[in-house]
Structure 1
Amino acid sequence: MRLKTIIPNLVIVFIAGVFVSFLLLNISNKKYYTDSGVDIFIHFILPVLLVLLALSALRLSQDSRLVIANVFFAFVMAVYGAEWYLTATLESSKTGADGGVGDTRSKIQVIEDLRAKGVNAYPAMRALSLLVDGDDGQVTSDLQSGGAPLLPLGGIAEKTVVSCNESGRWMIYRTDRHGFNNPPQAWDSSPLQIGMIGDSFTHGNCVPPEKNMAAVLRKRFGGVVNLGISGNGPLIELGALKEYLVPLKPQTVLWFFFEGNDITENTPYERRSPLLMSYLLNDGFSQNLMARAGEISNLYKGYLDKYMVKAINRTVTPYVKFMDFLQIYNLRRRLGLNIVSLGVFEGATEEDYKLFAAVLKKAKTLVESWGGRFYFVYLPESDRYFGVTPNNRIRERIHSRMMEMVSGLEIERIDVSEVFAAAPDARTYFFFPGSHYNERGYEAAANAVVAVIKNGPSDRSGGPISLKIP
């Protein structure tokens, strides 16, 4: 009988403690929120009200408190059961293009199967997979050359690589002479028409090379070099521009910005790397990567032969997976609540925006120094179009800040979010919530670029662009 009294009280106190934790977390991260009435209510007033409501339940009868405890327990079990199901579904049973269950092999299994057939395959590498945290709070490259850190900004050159699987089929392709996702002849174009800078969306995850944005632009304009690599942020991208595009001097440079993580995750992480910051702060800094392709490939092969599993799993540690599960990441994403949930923030600080602006200014100056044109291309993520909150406040805030930044720097822009918003159903541009674009999405984004470059740029103040929806 005593347990029947104690357990409901403990559950109610626990519920109140959860809301207190939300409040304390929001207070400690108040710099990520605006001073709008909605933000103040959601992040500060509502948790207080919920704490008071939970504590007031202690005044209810014993039977009522027992009902609350049972309902809460059932709710928690249902929520985490749904999270477990969604996590398992996304991990192991992606749907193929024909509607059936796709290739559920892991990346390691695919590589081993290819090697068994005589194909010397490797994982698609990225700079992010080489960066490690130091005891001093800085991040440095795990790859060494002559006793000094070396951070390649491309993958392993002229090898068959296994990239990703979101469609039910693994993306497998052969890298170019510098480790990027281009045809072999891409680097021979003279003059080079277009250079592309960006992350996994620019790279073309997770579609065949002939279906990504670079392929669409290549068909229309000819010479295109795509330097997109998964996980890239602004400092890595500036480094790629300085290492590879400055020597080539393309007529047009497209800087692709992905609103999902470029400013909220990649910028604060990359600024912790002294090597990457050197690309911004030191005009003469270079790792001479273009001339070291052979050395980089040999170092990569030695590193991957020894640490392949570590390199593949570096950014998806058991701790990260556990924290995602604890925060019901996949369920919130499916419901469109991953940004506005209490205590779960994805914002950016003023320091992050200032750093990004400095990077864009440096990139624009470099491109214009050889007479090239510099475009900023804004790529939206899937959260805008799935779930119960289509008007994502924090994503709109990022969009507004970036458009204001680009306008202030007098950079010509191409806003793909406008194109997707005008589509009958933008969800058809994605494989599933949280995925990269599918073939149709990449085509729509590339056509937005084609329309601006072909028909003339927008005014430098960032005025609206009228585009046809494919």
Structure 2
Amino acid sequence: MTGISRVATVAAFTVASVYAIELTSLAVRYLWVDREERRLVDERADKLRQRHLDRFEAMGRVVDRRPLSEVLKEADAAGRPTIPFTPVFDAYRTSSRKILPLGGVSNTHTVTGNYNGFWSIVRHDEHGLNNDPDAWKDKVDYVIFGISVVYGTDINRPENFVQTLRDGHGVKILNFGYATAQVPDAYRAQIREFFPLITPPKAVLWTAVDGLQGMYVHSTGKSAGQVMRSEVLDKYADPSYSQSLATRQPEVDAATWAAFAESRDESFSAMTIGAEKSHLRDVLFLRNLRTVIRLVKGWSVVPPSSSLDDDLRQSPSAAETACHEAVMAHDLDVLNKTAAELKEKYNTKVIVLYLAVRDRVDGHYKGNDFCYNSYLDSVKKAGYDVIDLPKIIADRHIAVDDLYEFNSSGHYSRNGHAIVADILAKELDRIGY
């Protein structure tokens, strides 16, 4: 056997051995790791929640310590079927095709969380979003897009800042906020699916927020500048593409309830939509082996959250908060193309709203972390009206506890929602659409 043949044989044996271990890791992950990962996430979240409740009790407040399972059982017993809030990170497969929801279960009570001392429960509208019944029939001046803080997680609907804008400040606004992957591609998708159902608004509030790109880079183990992709959301780059969700809400509802029935427990993470996994791609890139190794070493297999309590928090590293130019360029490209589509089809303008997150308000994020400065400079140069919430909060010397109290989940407290609503009402009046 020649030297080259021996090297080739050793290389082939090594590769075969590594992938044999990877296939074993796939089985281990299926049987144990994914469940253990979810348990660790839930254990961590419950620990934080209990700390918040302890602090609220120390202030003399009445808190609700019931586990989620008890809340759901009591709702069922009362004849009011209720489901946990379901973030959307990937598509379901129904019969022979995929469907990526852009909201939750329609016309259904939904538990959104308990980081403010009580279990917040809202009833979704006919498209699985957090609006009053028949809100879609009203003439609106604004539609707001965004993630969970816009949706209104951890707060009852009358008190979230979008509903407060509507009820307390007379702003005619519809809430398209939801927890989805690949922001802002999801905004473009919602426009394509839902705008034909409403009277075109004067403007949309297009929210940007610190931390999303870093979360996706870390959680997928990808290199800087890459984000978690959704095959379905990518298709919306084609102006003619649509999932026809307006007529497929029953499919969304059925698929979400089915996933809940399969994984019903006290977990919010269990209800993350992500049924479509590519086992072949995972094996090819040895992701199962790497996941098992991380868990065995005691590393978190979920991204380090900025929502840790003070004694658990660590200042984010430069790598975690880096400005990924490729991600920003993609986000700006989606914004510009969607703004052109909105103007052409609906004569609707775009207002860029940069949301404040706790880590920027309290100084953990600074300067151009997550492209904050670069992004705002770019959208201003492009001529968009901008509401820079972090700057307004800093200029007004609003304290972090005024926005969040002890809530380290990144979602505003009751008082925080009222403050944000007041700021936005004044800013919309300033812009003057």
Separation in structure 2 between the aligned mates of residue 160 and residue 332 of structure 1, nearest angstrom: 28
| Deviation digits for residues 207-246 of structure 1 (CA, Å, limit 9, x no counterpart) | 1101112112212345322111124521222211221135
CA shift at 1:287, angstroms? 0.5
Separation in structure 2 between the aligned mates of residue 442 and residue 320 of structure 1, nearest angstrom: 37
Equivalent runs, 1:136-175 vs 2, <5 Å: 141=91, 143-175=92-124
Q: Any conservation in 1 of the 2:86–2:271 contact (CA below 8 Å)? A: no
User: Aligned to 1:253, what secondary structure does the other structure show?
Assistant: strand
Separation in structure 1 between the aligned mates of residue 173 and residue 304 of structure 2, nearest angstrom: 41
Tell me what 2:241 maps to: 285
Larger helix percent = 1
Give the share of equivalent positions with the same residue, in percent: 20
Confirm whether residue 213 of structure 1 aligns to residue 152 of structure 2. no
Separation in structure 1 between the aligned mates of residue 304 and residue 103 of structure 2, nearest angstrom: 33
Tell me what 1:42 maps to: none
Tell me what 1:275 maps to: 232
Q: In 2 relative to 1, CA 227–308 (structure 1 residues): closer, same or farther, beyond 3 Å?
A: farther
Confirm whether residue 258 of structure 1 aligns to residue 209 of structure 2. yes
User: Aligned to 1:206, what secondary structure does the other structure show?
Assistant: coil
Tell me what 1:383 maps to: 359
Separation in structure 1 between the aligned mates of residue 427 and residue 230 of structure 2, nearest angstrom: 35
1:303 to 248, 259, 277: 259
Separation in structure 2 between the aligned mates of residue 379 and residue 330 of structure 1, nearest angstrom: 15
Tell me what 1:245 maps to: 195
CA shift at 1:124, angstroms? 1.8
Q: Any conservation in 2 of the 1:166–1:435 contact (CA below 8 Å)? A: no
User: Aligned to 2:207, what secondary structure does the other structure show?
Assistant: strand
Separation in structure 2 between the aligned mates of residue 337 and residue 222 of structure 1, nearest angstrom: 38
Equivalent runs, 1:8-407 vs 2, <5 Å: 89-95=47-53, 96=56, 99-100=60-61, 102-128=63-89, 131=90, 141=91, 143-190=92-139, 192-219=140-167, 220-232=169-181, 233-248=183-198, 249-261=200-212, 263-266=213-216, 272-279=229-236, 281-309=237-265, 312-313=269-270, 323-324=299-300, 334=310, 338-341=314-317, 345-369=320-344, 370-386=346-362, 390=363, 392-393=365-366, 396=369, 398-407=371-380
Q: In 2 relative to 1, CA 193–457 (structure 1 residues): closer, same or farther, beyond 3 Å?
A: closer
Tell me what 1:62 maps to: none
Tell me what 1:462 maps to: none
Tell me what 2:400 maps to: 426
Separation in structure 1 between the aligned mates of residue 324 and residue 272 of structure 2, nearest angstrom: 23
Q: Any conservation in 1 of the 2:115–2:409 contact (CA below 8 Å)? A: no
Separation in structure 2 between the aligned mates of residue 354 and residue 456 of structure 1, nearest angstrom: 26
Separation in structure 2 between the aligned mates of residue 201 and residue 331 of structure 1, nearest angstrom: 13
Higher RCO (C-alpha 8 Å, min separation 6): 2
- How many residues are treated as equivalent by the alignment? 355
Separation in structure 1 between the aligned mates of residue 312 and residue 420 of structure 2, nearest angstrom: 22
Tell me what 2:10 maps to: none
Q: Any conservation in 2 of the 1:259–1:395 contact (CA below 8 Å)? A: no
Q: Any conservation in 1 of the 2:143–2:201 contact (CA below 8 Å)? A: yes
CA shift at 1:378, angstroms? 0.7
Separation in structure 1 between the aligned mates of residue 421 and residue 136 of structure 2, nearest angstrom: 20
What is the TM-score when the length of structure 1 is the normalising length?
Answer: 0.67
| Deviation digits for residues 99-154 of structure 1 (CA, Å, limit 9, x no counterpart) | 446223333332122112322111122322xx2xxxxxxxxx2x223311111111
Tell me what 1:46 maps to: none
Where structure 2 has 5 or more consecutive residues not aligned to the other structure, the ranges are: 1-42, 218-224, 274-290
CA shift at 1:394, angstroms? 5.9
Q: Any conservation in 2 of the 1:333–1:383 contact (CA below 8 Å)? A: no
Separation in structure 1 between the aligned mates of residue 295 and residue 128 of structure 2, nearest angstrom: 28
Q: In 2 relative to 1, CA 339–198 (structure 1 residues): closer, same or farther, beyond 3 Å?
A: same
Q: In 2 relative to 1, CA 353–328 (structure 1 residues): closer, same or farther, beyond 3 Å?
A: closer
Partner amino acid, structure 2, of 1:293: Q
Greater displacement, 208-217 / 223-232: 223-232
| Deviation digits for residues 9-41 of structure 1 (CA, Å, limit 9, x no counterpart) | xxxxxxxxxxxxxxxxxxxxxxxxxxxxxxxxx
Q: In 2 relative to 1, CA 372–451 (structure 1 residues): closer, same or farther, beyond 3 Å?
A: same
Partner amino acid, structure 2, of 1:392: Y
Q: Any conservation in 2 of the 1:94–1:104 contact (CA below 8 Å)? A: no
Bigger radius of gyration among the two: 1
Q: In 2 relative to 1, CA 245–126 (structure 1 residues): closer, same or farther, beyond 3 Å?
A: farther
Separation in structure 2 between the aligned mates of residue 415 and residue 195 of structure 1, nearest angstrom: 18
Greater displacement, 160-169 / 87-96: 87-96
User: In angstroms, what is the RMSD of aligned CA positions?
Assistant: 3.4
User: Aligned to 1:230, what secondary structure does the other structure show?
Assistant: coil
Partner amino acid, structure 1, of 2:177: G
Separation in structure 2 between the aligned mates of residue 327 and residue 307 of structure 1, nearest angstrom: 22
Q: In 2 relative to 1, CA 256–305 (structure 1 residues): closer, same or farther, beyond 3 Å?
A: same
Where structure 1 has 5 or more consecutive residues not aligned to the other structure, the ranges are: 1-84, 132-140, 459-470
Tell me what 1:437 maps to: 412
